Structure 1
């Protein structure tokens, strides 16, 4: 499998100090993404046009590269183009009062690795803006590099591993979002395969060079020996629409069993890149645990 080792991805921890009360919706990843996108556009846009469509500078615009990238001509598409970052929201209280601290993680790859100063400046501006429905604000305290790359696993794959979903995963089959009672091991593993393949091809200009048909057949032979899944319905704050909008996903854990060898490096990388849809604001985050702890 054509994967670079170590995989060029970084995880940063963003630290902030609350200056005006912040009231998060149930899931704050979308709100963070929204304020950051607005700040990034204000900083990067060279024309001041209200819309990006038709702009002759799109191919050289950092905002487009970071927030609204388009696939290169002739590349295979995977649906909506994923941006080169993942926001991993914190696990804190829903309401943050002035004086409290807050942190979240930011995973960057592809074009995002080329603009560290712009990314930091955009977060500084974004956090000081109107966050969420009560228009809260924070002051950026710093960005700490937690992991500089993702090494690929060197030892053989186990025959079983626990998959613990830390944020709701959004997976479609035949165009329809799966419910907890419908999720199979093949669904989850294939969502990881697609995610890693998409990032490699569209952001690293690198094909996995693997037999996807054979890989999909191998995924069908996997199963969850134990699975404790539940549907999770929640709301995200849309800065563009100025209101909460509904979302759904699946939470829980399961013991993934079978021949994991062809999937092991991909499953490992998925812990940085996430699985399924809406990953840019943190959905589909999971960890692999070889022991039931």
Structure 2
């Protein structure tokens, strides 16, 4: 894997496919207020049933864990040695963006749509990932085991939407997934945060009164750097100390509110509170050095629990 320092890597690229999966409901599906966790659980169970050959209960002791589709996507193996630190976990190379907020029931004949993003080398696993999704929705999701059939896959890029699968063609069409970061815009940008952004300081959630521009920017920088290193074609190597100093030159105007949300953890056998910040956040100042992390963050999300859609935002004109 090649590496570049920030001074040389002013316009990084990343292979990334954000796919809209459209389904026709065949048995009523009861959606919770936020379906990200439910969808991730269904996808993970189906992927493991398809991809696991050894049937080991614990993936950490499996001799095939570096080559298994399940671990590649769901439990990627951290490097044994790393020059910066020892990693017990690395970011997963997928993001699930569920339907819009709101409890509701979809009846037979209705359309269910949600987004599924694969990053970097994980794009090679797209066919088996789609097979896992089809199996998950055929088995049933939600409290009533609702089912659905896949009707289309659309690749959604910054300026276009490209159909890459229909039942008629029967296979996923070849398509380009590499995105290049555009030049940075003016000194002010606006983030519209649509799902709870969960930033923390020493394990304590940051709320509207305590969150800072530094916390946001450095979380984005770290996430993009780790994803590009472990899953991308080229590692983005920012100077963390320099960027930390630059955050003092960035000011913000926030209209944020806390949104509570809970999910049930089948692993921990208890409900977990996963609230976070939503709303509008204007950033002003020396943003050019942070721009790649900010721009790609629209697909990669920010903060904790990004894999099932939290911390989603888009950049709009200020």
Name the TM-score, length of structure 1 as normaliser: 0.91
Checking the alignment, whether the CA contact within 8 Å between 2:97 and 2:114 is kept in structure 1 is yes
Residues 249-290 of structure 1, C-alpha deviation per residue, up to 9 Å, x if partnerless?
A: 111112111111111122111111111111110111101112
Checking the alignment, whether the CA contact within 8 Å between 2:29 and 2:145 is kept in structure 1 is yes
Which residue does 2:251 correspond to in 1?
223
Deviation at 1:240, TM superposition (A): 4.8
Of the candidates 147, 152, 156, which is equivalent to residue 146 of structure 1? Answer: 156
Deviation at 1:219, TM superposition (A): 1.4
Which residue does 1:112 correspond to in 2?
122
Of the candidates 56, 60, 67, which is equivalent to residue 60 of structure 1? Answer: 67
1:153-168 paired onto structure 2 within 5 Å: 153-154=182-183, 156-168=184-196
- Distance, in Å, in 2 between the alignment partners of 1:209 and 1:18 is 45
Checking the alignment, whether the CA contact within 8 Å between 2:137 and 2:147 is kept in structure 1 is yes
Residues 6-43 of structure 1, C-alpha deviation per residue, up to 9 Å, x if partnerless?
A: 32111111111112222222211111111000000000
- Distance, in Å, in 1 between the alignment partners of 2:68 and 2:117 is 21
SS at match of 1:128: helix
4+ residue segments displaced more than 3 Å: 2-6, 76-80, 237-245
Moved more, 226-235 or 68-77: 68-77
Change (3 A) 1:6 1:201: closer
Which residue does 2:225 correspond to in 1?
197
Which residue does 1:90 correspond to in 2?
99
Deviation at 1:221, TM superposition (A): 2.4
Which residue does 2:17 correspond to in 1?
10
Deviation at 1:3, TM superposition (A): 6.9
Deviation at 1:196, TM superposition (A): 0.3
Deviation at 1:121, TM superposition (A): 0.4
Relative contact order, higher structure (CA 8 A, sep 6+): 1
Deviation at 1:77, TM superposition (A): 5.4
SS at match of 2:66: helix
Of the candidates 178, 190, 194, which is equivalent to residue 206 of structure 2? Answer: 178
Moved more, 84-93 or 182-191: 84-93
Residues 145-176 of structure 1, C-alpha deviation per residue, up to 9 Å, x if partnerless?
A: 2233322113x431111111011111111221
- Distance, in Å, in 1 between the alignment partners of 2:153 and 2:230 is 26
SS at match of 1:69: coil
Deviation at 1:102, TM superposition (A): 1.1
Change (3 A) 1:252 1:158: same
Change (3 A) 1:152 1:112: same
Structure 1 alignment gaps of length 5 or more: none
- Distance, in Å, in 1 between the alignment partners of 2:115 and 2:270 is 24
Which residue does 1:42 correspond to in 2?
49
- Distance, in Å, in 1 between the alignment partners of 2:134 and 2:201 is 39
Of the candidates 258, 264, 267, which is equivalent to residue 294 of structure 2? Answer: 267
Which residue does 2:174 correspond to in 1?
none
SS at match of 1:99: coil
Checking the alignment, whether the CA contact within 8 Å between 1:152 and 1:268 is kept in structure 2 is yes
- Distance, in Å, in 2 between the alignment partners of 1:78 and 1:176 is 21
SS at match of 1:189: helix
Name the TM-score, length of structure 2 as normaliser: 0.84
Change (3 A) 1:78 1:58: closer
- Distance, in Å, in 2 between the alignment partners of 1:93 and 1:41 is 29
- Distance, in Å, in 2 between the alignment partners of 1:42 and 1:13 is 23
